[in-house]
Chain A
């Protein structure tokens, strides 16, 4: 059913159709509306076999879900920014405990300075936690990805938390026509969560034991293997989804103009704008391709190397930075393309919700193609550095 809805609703509706058993929430802008919508559904009796808990912090929300997930429940929460960072101790733990908690992160800048607006610093900071990370381009994709997230995370060959990353405000609060799924389709795609190992008095298993040096590493290796396996399993799930829903979001990445020699690489909502930029540059006769990277963890190294094997220039659009080094996406890309000869230019833009107008983006790409733009922060005003 096609409806014009805001991003947060498209997520909440999809979550409802996945029949979670425990939803736990702590409000944080711009995530709040997701859990507010779920609360409304809960209050109206639309969520069966479900408990909705208002936690006292994101730290508690993640912890409650950890306990629930270990007991065999399907769980959901949403957060971002400081909330995600506050959850991070628990999320690292949940990953190690192999609990398939699904989180929507409505990407938002981190403090200080305080900013409620969008960039990708929060989720990038959790890169190493053992959580699957997928970035969506629009609200339809956010909607479609939720059932897939559960299916992937709960696959017993994977069993890792799954974080769907959607740009705060830019997507969460934007109205878009979304073809809302129906229960039947989701039911046919997503079976109930039936873990092999969970907390039950019928079988006393211990979770979260400590591991001395002779065995700790093996657990980390097991997580790495799960991430590796996830690559293929995710592809299959993506394909299955495309077949039953009729909407193909690509695999780990989507390539526009695969024959180009120069490529722009980006994640998230900015891809939508870049499609137009690339299209317009093509019309001008500039041959430039676009890579929309969907999965960030596990990182699709092979696919990227293949897609960029003939590339001479790669322009990376970064919306977060590893301070003291450079844009996070460009770090990842350089590492993935090690040994290949393409020049990589990293453009750090849009931090803290700074506007990214199409003209600005187009100029950046054009100038980079012409060799006139080097790596670094773009669109920064003159500013007197404050040293306290």
Chain B
């Protein structure tokens, strides 16, 4: 609770806060935080009650990467680079949709660690779909009805986008893996340039889960291969989190209200099969399965 915490207003069990605390601890608080509009900003930045123990700026929803570039460049111009790392903390909507102007940061390779806190929807406005909302999820803008069964498109592959831009460090992690977050943030801090880390952050309210199930659900996302935990350096895949006995996606989906309709509606079977295909593809692509002898 040294750098973030006191007085924040997150829902009990929220994955964001775990992720943020570990990011800041990994950097020992020696960092500048640029935060986009969203859940994290709203729960932590009320005037007079802000929860930050590090220099913090919130500007807008759509420009956090650029603001961070400005901080990074100003530190250079002013000869203050040793003061700390520049870190973006942005939600999935702010990253993959409105703020995908992030490409400028990648393109110019500013020394910034960009962290996408991926709770897979616009949770702050009450659970609307974003580019990182997965297939089949019911949100208030992709409801399950007679014609449509939740989100129709796939989750945008931000990892591929970051890699395509030549980012020196690209990784995923999860709020349920605090040690992994800390290690990856430290590694990112050691490398120069525009780094991208995407952290899966279970959202109790939006996903419709019990606070006590956050860890279980977060782990199942990994164990089903729906959220592959990977790490790239200079475009090369360095580590993946292997899966011993990959679980079927149903196990993950059935615990969450956001996928409930897939089990209630007969057409849900097809969607679940599609989701399983995505998991299989991830497992294959990154070699996630530990092969049995």
Q: Does A210 belong to the interface (CB within 8 Å)?
A: yes
Contact B108 A206 (CB under 8 A): no
B286 at the interface (CB under 8 A from A): no
Select from chain B the residue with minimum beta-carbon distance to A48. Answer: B77
Could you say which residues of chain A place their CB within 8 Å of the CB of B60? 63, 89-90, 93
Contact present for B69 and A56 (CB under 8 Å): no
Which chain A residues lie closer than 8 Å to B41 at the CB level? 210
- Contact at A51–B56, with CB atoms within 8 Å? no
Task: Give the residues in chain A near B55, CB-CB below 8 Å.
Answer: 199-201, 203-206
Mask of A63-88 contacts with B, CB within 8 angstroms, 1/0: 11111111111000000000000000
Nearest-Cβ distance from residue B63 to partner chain A, whole angstroms: 4
Asked if A204 and B53 sit within 8 Å, CB to CB, the answer is yes
C-alpha spacing A229/B279, complex, angstroms: 62
Nearest residue, chain A, Cβ from B70: A67
Q: Is the interface of B mostly helix, strand, loop or mixed?
A: mixed
Using a Cβ–Cβ cut-off of 8 Å, how many residues does chain A contribute to the interface with B? 43
- Asked whether A53 and B108 contact (CB < 8 A) given A21-B78, A67-B74, A211-B47, the answer is yes
Tell me which of B62, B71, B77 contacts A199 (CB under 8 A): B71
Closest A residue to B66 by beta carbon equals: A63
User: What total count of A-B pairs have CB within 8 Å?
Assistant: 156
> Residues of B contacting A69 with CB < 8 Å?
70, 74
The answer to whether A22 and B63 touch across the interface, beta carbons within 8 angstroms, is no
- Which residues, 57 to 84 on B, are CB-close (under 8 Å) to A? 57-60, 62-63, 66-80, 83-84
Interchain CA distance A149-B195 in the complex, whole Å: 37
Provide the bound-state CA to CA distance between A298 and B107, in Å. 39
Given contact pairs A71-B70, A201-B30, A215 touches B48 in the complex (Cβ within 8 A): yes
On chain B, the residues within 8 Å of A63 by CB distance are: 59-60, 63, 66-67, 69-70
Give Cα A201–Cα B53 distance, bound, in whole angstroms: 9
Tell me the B246-264 residues at the A interface (CB within 8 Å): none
Residue of B nearest to A65 (CB): B70
Q: Is B219 an interface residue (CB 8 A)?
A: no
Report the interface size class on chain B.
35 or more
Alpha-carbon gap, A208 to B57, bound state (A): 6
Chain B residues numbered 66-125 whose CB sits less than 8 Å from any CB in chain A: 66-80, 83-84, 101, 103-104, 107-108
B77 near A67: Cβ-Cβ < 8 Å: no
A175 close to B (CB within 8 Å): no
Within 8 A of B (CB), among A301-340: none
The contact of A56 among B54, B62, B79, B104, by CB within 8 Å, is: B104
Q: Mark A189-220, 1 if CB is under 8 A from B, else 0.
A: 00000000001111111111111100100000
A-B CB contact pairs (8 Å), 17 listed: A22-B70, A49-B79, A60-B63, A60-B66, A63-B63, A63-B66, A70-B67, A70-B71, A71-B74, A93-B60, A199-B57, A201-B31, A201-B83, A206-B50, A206-B56, A209-B50, A209-B58
Q: A204-B55, A207-B56, A209-B50 are in contact. List 13 more A-B contacts (CB 8 A).
A: A22-B74, A56-B107, A68-B71, A68-B74, A71-B75, A73-B74, A89-B62, A93-B60, A201-B55, A203-B55, A206-B58, A208-B45, A211-B47
Query: Footprint of B on A, CB under 8 Å?
Result: 21-22, 24, 49-51, 53-57, 59-60, 63-73, 89-90, 93, 97, 199-212, 215
